[in-house]
């Protein structure tokens, strides 16, 4: 059950005069504000909308969460509420008899069956006809239970997982493929769910299967590479590329053409790089795909970056920062008039951290504007702008225009040049808070990079509040994590002095299992160092922009280096020494 419990006092003692029973349940048993419900009640003007429409209205007004609303629906109908359907019994009889589109349209699916009864999880118990049809088909009495939209959708997707075809079967149909349908591309506005797709064209089936498997493993990038004899499909998972599928060389052009059609690129142009995008649905998940094609000596290569639109953005407290970094950063993001930079290589989670910082700020009382390339997360409450250099909308030009929009907080996707940096600094000096990123390997190197761009040190010291450098390292798989003897040579390389090594008796690693595909790692965790512009750091900056000297002063003034933070992650059994050494070679 949800953490939200029915009320036993407070508003429950007030008489409920709402016409709709769901309003009464929410007010009396779940402490939902009477005033808010009265406003919506007046908006309805005596109408009694369908349950699904009413819930949509309540969610639009942010009356409650979807989980609590579903609990209220269950209470209203006198039914059991089950938040998770992970243990549901999936019978082949159901999938053979109930079309997936029918189940998704009415959002229901059977979870258990006995000789006399059939349990069915539903989202809206007032939709009776399809449920009764199922009861007649299976000749059993129906027992409804209420669950959430996402739980039922996940159950349906698991039940109809049709993308586990063997590689041999894929090859059999692909070898016969010689052309690609050049009809209308997949729509960006209303894409078809790939699980529902019934494409007969073999190349479409192959690409759908590749994308489904990529989404299933939370792949960030799909690479379609080729050599003189074959095509290799590789997935980047947790920052590492893995060979996933090998295909005949003869289908390369057909597969690349299908990707181009999907992303609205020119299939006749093979001699120049092209960039495109598309939006797809896989198992109810919206995925924005950024496509890049590149001519090579073995014809074209394609890379597809997958941006999962359903991913929850983390707050700063969820990013795994050391306590001293989190405490200081959460204070700085609430200050006005200054710049906070996040540095790190591509794919190190900089955008996630920036949005985590923005989440610390009250977006309802402030005008928060972002300038990005591309906009990876579309968020309510922010004004988001995507740069388009083809029409002259660069970071610098967009930032100039944003400053005329009365912003309080500005997020600039990247400081790439002196012009953007200078405009950001002027914005900070005039009272705006600016967040941005720089592609450098450490926090001290970021300051040196700004000077190299042509920014005067005195401007940096007066406008910059802090630089947060970060990496992502792989987590040890919880399923196969085991203790191993410590390697003293690796400890020395990690920076553990001999006098401290006595406290290191053992460390952990993952031996490899089915859950982590034999890698020993599953998921990633952040590695951080934060340089705050204290007076000693400002003083050394006015004398030199050497990153090593700035680092020495910052460390002596309390900065926790990435290598030191990594040592603690190793000691806690979160990751391995090898991962920390690889990520912090600059140290």
Lowest mean pLDDT among 16-20, 272-276, 420-424, 552-556: 16-20
Task: Say what percent of the chain tops pLDDT 90.
Answer: 32
| pLDDT band (50, 70, 90) for residue 197 | low
Q: How far is CA 340 from CA 168, 278, 424, in A?
A: 52, 32, 11
336 contacts: CB under 8 Å, gap ≥ 6: 408, 431, 432, 433
pLDDT at 374 over 70: yes
Q: Which of 410, 412, 425 is nearest to 455 (CA)?
A: 425
Q: Characterize 3-33 residue by residue with b for buried, 16 or more Cβ atoms within 10 angstroms of its Cβ, and e for exposed.
A: eeeeeeeebeeeeeebebebbbbbbbbbbbe
pTM value is 0.64
Segment 136-176, tens digit of pLDDT: 888 889 999 999 988 888 888 778 764 333 333 333 333 33
Task: Give 187's contacts (C-beta < 8 A, 6+ positions apart).
Answer: none
pLDDT tens digits, one per residue of 472-530? 999 999 989 999 888 888 888 888 887 787 778 788 999 888 888 888 998 888 899 99
Specify whether the CB–CB gap between 158 and 90 falls below 8 A.
yes
pLDDT of residue 302: 95
pLDDT class of 187 with cuts at 50, 70, 90: very low
User: Which DSSP category does 10 fall into?
Assistant: G
Q: Output the CA angle 507-509-513, nearest 5 degrees.
A: 155
Q: Is the pLDDT of residue 262 over 80?
A: yes
pLDDT at 198: 52
Q: What is the pLDDT of residue 89?
A: 84
Backbone φ and ψ of 524, nearest 5° = -135, 160
* pLDDT tens per residue, range 432-465: 999 999 988 889 999 999 999 999 999 999 999 9
C-alpha distance from residue 570 to each of 439, 463, 473, 482, 496 (Å): 26, 36, 11, 13, 12
Q: In this model, does residue 128 exceed pLDDT 70?
A: yes
CA distance 435 to 399: 12
pLDDT averaged over every residue in the chain = 82
Per residue in 28-39, pLDDT (tens digit) is 777 777 777 777
Tell me the C-alpha to C-alpha distance, in Å, between residue 45 and each of 26, 69, 73, 275, 504: 19, 21, 22, 50, 70
Please tell me the predicted confidence (pLDDT) of residue 556.
Answer: 92
- The distance of Cα 497 from the centroid of its chain, to the nearest Å, equals 39
Higher pLDDT pick, 302 / 29? 302
Alpha helices, H only, 175-269: 202-216, 252-262
Query: Can you give the pLDDT at residue 11?
Result: 41
Tokens of 332: 């700085």
d(CA 306, CA 194): 15
């Amino acid at each position: 059950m949800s953490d939200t419990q029915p009320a036993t006092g407070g508003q429950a003692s007030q008489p409920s005069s709402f016409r709709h029973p769901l309003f009464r349940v929410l007010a009396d048993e779940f402490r939902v504000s009477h005033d808010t419900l009265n406003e919506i009640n007046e908006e309805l003007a005596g109408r009694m909308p369908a349950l699904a429409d009413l819930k949509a209205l309540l969610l639009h007004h942010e009356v409650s969460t979807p989980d609590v609303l579903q609990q209220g629906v269950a209470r209203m109908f006198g039914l059991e509420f089950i938040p998770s359907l992970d243990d549901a019994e999936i019978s082949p009889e159901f999938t053979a008899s109930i079309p997936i589109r029918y189940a998704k349209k009415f959002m229901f699916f059977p979870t258990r069956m006995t000789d006399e009864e059939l349990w069915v999880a539903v989202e809206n118990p007032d939709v009776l006809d399809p449920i009764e049809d199922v009861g007649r088909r299976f000749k059993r009495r129906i027992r409804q239970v209420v669950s959430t939209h996402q739980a039922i959708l996940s159950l349906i997707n698991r039940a109809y997982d049709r993308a586990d075809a063997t590689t041999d079967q894929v090859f059999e149909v692909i070898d016969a493929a010689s052309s690609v349908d050049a009809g209308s591309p997949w729509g960006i506005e209303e894409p078809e769910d790939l699980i529902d797709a019934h494409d007969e064209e073999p190349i479409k089936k192959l690409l759908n299967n590749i994308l489904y498997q990529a989404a299933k493993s939370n792949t960030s990038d799909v690479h379609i590479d080729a050599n003189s004899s074959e095509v290799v499909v590789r997935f980047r998972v947790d920052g590492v590329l893995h060979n996933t599928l090998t295909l005949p060389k003869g289908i390369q052009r057909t597969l690349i053409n299908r990707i181009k059609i999907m992303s609205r690129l020119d299939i006749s142009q093979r001699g120049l790089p092209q960039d495109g995008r598309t939006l797809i649905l896989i198992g109810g998940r919206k995925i924005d795909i950024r496509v890049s094609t590149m001519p090579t000596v073995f014809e074209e290569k394609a890379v597809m970056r997958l941006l999962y639109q359903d991913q929850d953005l983390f707050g700063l407290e969820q990013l795994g920062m050391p306590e001293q970094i989190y405490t200081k950063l959460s204070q700085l993001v609430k200050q006005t008039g200054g710049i906070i930079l996040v540095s790190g290589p591509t794919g190190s989670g900089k955008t996630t951290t920036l949005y985590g910082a923005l989440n610390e700020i009250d977006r309802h009382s402030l005008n928060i504007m972002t300038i990005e390339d591309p906009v990876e997360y579309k968020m309510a409450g922010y004004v988001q702008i995507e740069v388009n250099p083809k029409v002259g909308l660069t970071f610098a030009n967009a930032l100039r225009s944003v400053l005329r929009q009365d912003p309080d907080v500005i997020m600039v996707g990247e400081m790439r040049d002196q012009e953007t940096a200078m405009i950001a600094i002027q914005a900070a000096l005039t009272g705006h808070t600016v967040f941005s990123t720089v592609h450098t390997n450490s926090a001290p190197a970021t300051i040196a990079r700004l000077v190299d761009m042509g920014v005067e040190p005195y401007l940096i010291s007066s406008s910059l509040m802090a630089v947060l450098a970060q990496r992502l390292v792989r987590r040890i798989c919880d399923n196969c994590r085991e203790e191993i003897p410590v390697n003293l040579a690796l400890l020395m390389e990690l920076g553990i002095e001999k006098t401290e090594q006595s406290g290191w008796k053992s460390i952990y690693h993952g031996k490899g299992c089915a859950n982590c595909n034999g890698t020993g790692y599953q998921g990633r965790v952040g590695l951080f160092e934060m340089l705050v512009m204290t007076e000693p750091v400002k003083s050394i900056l006015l004398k030199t922009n050497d990153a090593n000297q700035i680092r020495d002063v910052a460390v002596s003034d309390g900065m926790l280096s990435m290598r030191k933070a990594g040592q603690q992650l190793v000691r806690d059994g979160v990751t391995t020494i090898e991962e920390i050494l690889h990520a912090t070679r600059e140290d």
